[in-house]
Each structure stands twice: as structure tokens, then as C-alpha cells.
Amino acid sequence: MSSIARALPVTLREIRFIVSSSRVTQLGLTEYLNTIIPPLYKVNPGLKVLLRECEGVEDYVIFRSAYGREDRFYLEHVDRTNLDQILSQVVADLK
């Protein structure tokens, strides 16, 4: 996880997960966020990490940066084993 924390752009203000309720459990997203949030807050104490559960939505994550810029990435082929790897790649692509 420290690789994600170190790769975060300093302009990043918010990470917002929008996921269907059934996928939250399937991905183990709550447990995953509980492990990644402390290192993220050490690097960027003002960062907000939100998890929104919605029915009937495609799973995605939004990275909101300074000046209102938002980048949305869909999590359609993500499972519990590759979530960290995919998020690391997404964060690297933000720079």
C-alpha cells in the first residue's frame, strides 16, 4: 500500500468509491480501505476517502484534484486480488 501513498499527487483532494452493495462485500472493500487509509493520511492528511454504496451502478472510483478536476475509472474487471495493483496503476496515470 505504501506504493500508492507515495505515488499520490499532492493536488489530490478526494478518492471516492461508488460501488454496488453486493460488490462491497465481494471485493472486501471496507477491509481494504481500512488498511490503505492510515498510510494515505500520513502522506496527505487533508485527503478524503469516501465509499458510496448504490444499487444498480457500475463500480467506479473518482479521483478529485485541485481546481475541481475529476478522473473516473471503472472497476468492471477488478476483484479482491488485483484491487491494489489496479489502484496503483490508476494513481500513476494521474500524474
* Mean of the per-residue pLDDT values of the chain: 81
With a CB cutoff of 8 Å and minimum separation 6, the contacts of 43 are 5, 6, 8
d(CA 17, CA 52): 6
Residues 47 and 7: beta-carbon distance below 8 Å: no
Query: CB atoms < 10 A from the CB of 36, how many?
Result: 18
Q: What is the pLDDT of residues 62-93, one digit of tens each?
A: 989 888 889 898 887 777 677 777 777 777 77
Q: Residue 47's pLDDT band (boundaries 50, 70, 90)? A: confident
Report residue 32 CA to chain centroid gap: 10
Residue type, 35: T
